[in-house]
């Protein structure tokens, strides 16, 4: 069954891998693609989203809207040291021809949700600034959201500081707004995405599969997030969960976000009678690799 999703992200090399599947797999119908400042500035994440929309010939199918250019309160810090100055170093895309929607991403999100006859899934793989603004500005959309699946946070391990994962660290106040919204949330954090490595053997095979494989292999060669030649596909895990929820184990926690001080961006997960987030604790790595390669091969 096709799942209708609203996809909010900050492309980004692992975002590009996620988009390659979201835009081509019949399991998903991307109703709207929105961008946010995160891995690189919002003008660059938007340009990268349009590059991928055009690469997969989806420019007349999937609308793109540009969103927040900075966190709600905190000073913006990018991740160009991991993804390159453009955010998607390694592949020369043609000049973008497609225009974004005239509306701000948050307004476009509201319109899509309110016009939908059924509840939709929101998938967020960048800073949660757009989502937080949507929640605060347009609370009438909350009943229209079936669940929010996020790549972000962590149980005990960080990648931007010793305790903070990048997406939450980038805009911790937005993450706190989301986690206290009452929405059903699936959090797939670093403790799981650092398990779900795409093996070096599979990365080496990508270039021989098809043009998408060549493009991704070229991007991965410039992706500084590396584990002995294997690469964590952080954002792809959100789609893998939607496709194969049985490949994950989740536990319910009360998750709070540290918004100031040296532990800014930490997601503090506590077992209490009140829980607000369903947190992934493990993933089937072999199943992830098999699924990913099958999806790229099918493009």
User: Annotated active-site positions, please?
Assistant: 234
95 to each of 3, 9, 52, 87, 285, how far by Cα in Å? 31, 21, 12, 16, 37
**CA triple 223-226-229, angle to 5 deg:** 105
CA distance 192 to 132: 24
Gyration radius (Cα) of the chain, Å: 17
| 97 burial via Cβ count (<10 Å: 0-12, 13-18, 19+) | exposed
> Of 133, 145, 134, 146, which Cα lies nearest the Cα of 110?
134
Least Cα distance to 21 among 56, 48, 70 occurs for 56
Task: Let me know the angle formed at the C-alpha of 252 by 251 and 257, rounded to the nearest 5 degrees.
Answer: 115
The CB density around residue 261, as the number of other CB atoms within 10 Å, is 7
Contact 21, 295 (CB under 8 A): yes
CA atoms of 40 and 42, how far apart (whole Å): 7
Q: Which residue do the tokens 């077992």 mark? A: 271
* Cα(128)–Cα(168) distance, integer angstroms: 7
């Amino acid at each position: 069954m096709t799942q209708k999703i609203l996809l909010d992200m900050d492309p980004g090399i692992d975002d590009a891998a996620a988009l390659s599947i979201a835009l081509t797999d019949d399991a998903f119908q991307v109703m709207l693609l929105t961008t946010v400042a995160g891995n690189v500035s919002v003008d660059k994440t938007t340009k990268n989203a349009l590059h991928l929309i055009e690469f997969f010939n989806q420019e007349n199918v999937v609308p793109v809207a540009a969103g927040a250019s900075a966190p709600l309160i905190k000073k913006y810090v990018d991740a160009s040291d991991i993804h390159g100055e453009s955010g998607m170093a390694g592949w020369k895309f043609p000049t973008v021809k497609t225009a974004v929607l005239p509306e701000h991403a948050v307004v476009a999100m509201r319109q899509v949700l309110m016009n939908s006859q059924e509840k939709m899934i929101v998938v967020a793989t960048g800073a949660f600034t757009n989502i937080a603004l949507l929640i605060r500005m347009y609370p009438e959309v909350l009943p229209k959201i079936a669940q929010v699946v996020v790549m972000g946070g962590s149980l005990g391990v960080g990648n931007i500081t010793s305790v903070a994962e990048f997406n939450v660290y980038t805009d911790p106040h937005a993450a706190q707004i989301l986690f206290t919204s009452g929405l059903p949330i699936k959090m797939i954090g670093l403790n799981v995405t650092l398990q779900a490595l795409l093996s070096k053997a599979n990365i080496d095979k990508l270039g021989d599969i098809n043009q998408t494989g060549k493009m991704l292999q070229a991007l991965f060669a410039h992706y500084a997030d590396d584990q002995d030649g294997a690469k964590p596909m952080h954002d792809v895990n959100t789609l893998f969960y939607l496709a194969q929820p049985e490949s994950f184990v989740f536990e319910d926690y009360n998750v709070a976000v540290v918004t100031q001080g040296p532990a800014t961006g930490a997601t503090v997960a506590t077992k209490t009678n009140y829980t607000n987030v369903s947190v992934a604790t493990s993933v089937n790595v072999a199943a992830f690799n098999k699924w990913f390669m099958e999806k790229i091969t099918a493009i």
